Amino acid sequence: MSLRRTWAVMRKEGLHILRDPRSLLMALAVPLVMLLLFGYGLTLDVDRIPTLIYDGDHSPASRELVAQFQGSRFFRILGWVDEYRTIEKRIDRDRCLLGVVIPRDYSRKLASGQEAEVQLLLDGSDSNTASIALGYAQALLQVYSMELRTRALDRKGGAKLKAPVEARLRVWYNSELKSRNYIVPGLIAVIINIIAALLTSLTIAREWEMGTMEQLLSTPLRPAELVLGKLAAFFGLGLADMLIAILVGVFLFGVPLRGNPLFLVLTGCIFLCGALCWGILVSAFARSQLLAYQLGMLTSFLPALLLSGFVWSIENMPGVIQAITYIFPARYIVTILKGVFLKGVGMHVLWVEVAFLLVFVTVVFVAATRRVGRRVA
């Protein structure tokens, strides 16, 4: 292998990148735009749930119950209604998620020591949000019910009522339970995968379309030198995208970086090399830039988004899908990024994921070299 020939290919690709400032600007701007859109737009937090109150009792007891919902940050009271149909219409028009119905005999049953019922009407079209909202409402009602029982015992001069089991919670790694801290590290991996694959997925196909591949065929350039030269030219651009994404995640979104930044960048570079080689492999299969772009999107964006654990937990997927996720390197880099950002762990914990990434880079580089070699032959 000749470093001189590899450098010549890298220099040629670098000049091509610099001579197209619009594409260069897009390559640098797209990761930032995607990170801002997903970081601010995609959230798993469920709070300020739009809530309507149907108070059929109009008593001090019912108003105290309503005050519990008003004082919680998880509920946003839109107003009071006088009939069921109003709640139904608001839910149909997506203007309300939860309806709280207090019956007319609510205060009477409380005063007589009977069980007072409160009805919760939920929009189940979004099952995940509805289940979370239901959990919040049930927890609020349970706490309030325990408070009412304690008051009743105090009035009777009895002993203080205590719950048989008391949970002492301690949340590690994301104490405020912000979904942004969970999403942004995984989003960085998705962006690196998409951008890197798209940067190089057009490179070989462009050579065929522009007719310059024939000129390369007439030179003593070897396939490995061609792949390394093109990879090195785009590596700097991909590294800049990765650093931009990390800096935006830390300083703009406030995601804690508890681990070693050097380890984070190093593993990110390994994954970046694999993604770039994958793009070259895809490009070697297609002589059309359009086909190469479509294959690059299909094989990078969808697996990175759906099968990496970026948003949806892999443990909750069917067994067959869980087995398929081991094929895609996005799974391993997402695990590494979340481990370094949130848990502060390093090589001693994540060595298996790093090993899989190294295997992926090696396999894809060899496959890309052989495919380009067949094209050259």
Q: In a 10 Å sphere around its CB, with 0-12 CB exposed, 13-18 middle and 19+ buried, how is residue 119 labelled?
A: exposed
- Which of 20-29, 167-176, 271-280: highest mean pLDDT? 271-280
- The fraction of the chain above a pLDDT of 90, given in percent, is 14
The number of helices, as runs of H, and strands, as runs of E, in the chain is 15, 4
For residue 213 the two structure tokens come to: 């591949």
Give the per-residue pLDDT at 354.
94
Question: What are the residue boundaries of the structural domains of the chain, listed by start?
Answer: 3-43+178-376, 49-155
The backbone torsions φ and ψ at residue 217, rounded to the nearest 5 degrees and listed phi first, read: -65, -25
For residue 192 the two structure tokens come to: 């690196």
The backbone torsions φ and ψ at residue 100, rounded to the nearest 5 degrees and listed phi first, read: -105, 120
Give the per-residue pLDDT at 165.
67
First to last CA, the chain: 17
For residue 351 the two structure tokens come to: 């060595």
State the average pLDDT over residues 91-119: 87
For residue 257 the two structure tokens come to: 């970086």
- Higher-pLDDT residue of 158 and 176 is 176
**Amino acid sitting at position 269:** C
Q: How far apart are CA 258 and CA 31, in angstroms?
A: 23
The answer to whether residue 166 scores a pLDDT higher than 80 is no
- The band of 8, judged by pLDDT with boundaries at 50, 70 and 90, is confident
Q: From 295, 189, 234, 187, select the one nearest 23 (Cα to Cα).
A: 234
Query: Cα dist. 249→115, 256, 322 in Å?
Result: 50, 9, 28
List, for residues 182-203, the tens digit of each pLDDT value.
888 888 888 888 777 777 777 7
The answer to whether residue 377 scores a pLDDT higher than 60 is no
Classify residue 115 by its DSSP letter.
P
In the chain, how long is the greatest CA-to-CA distance? 100
- CATH label, 49-155, candidates 1.10.150.20, 3.10.20.30, 3.90.1310.10, 3.40.1710.10: 3.40.1710.10
For residue 64 the two structure tokens come to: 């105290």
The answer to whether residue 218 scores a pLDDT higher than 70 is no
Q: In a 10 Å sphere around its CB, with 0-12 CB exposed, 13-18 middle and 19+ buried, how is residue 333 labelled?
A: buried
- Higher-pLDDT residue of 173 and 361 is 361
Give the per-residue pLDDT at 188.
84
- Higher-pLDDT residue of 62 and 201 is 62
- Which of these ranges, 195-204, 229-238, 301-310, has the smallest mean pLDDT? 195-204
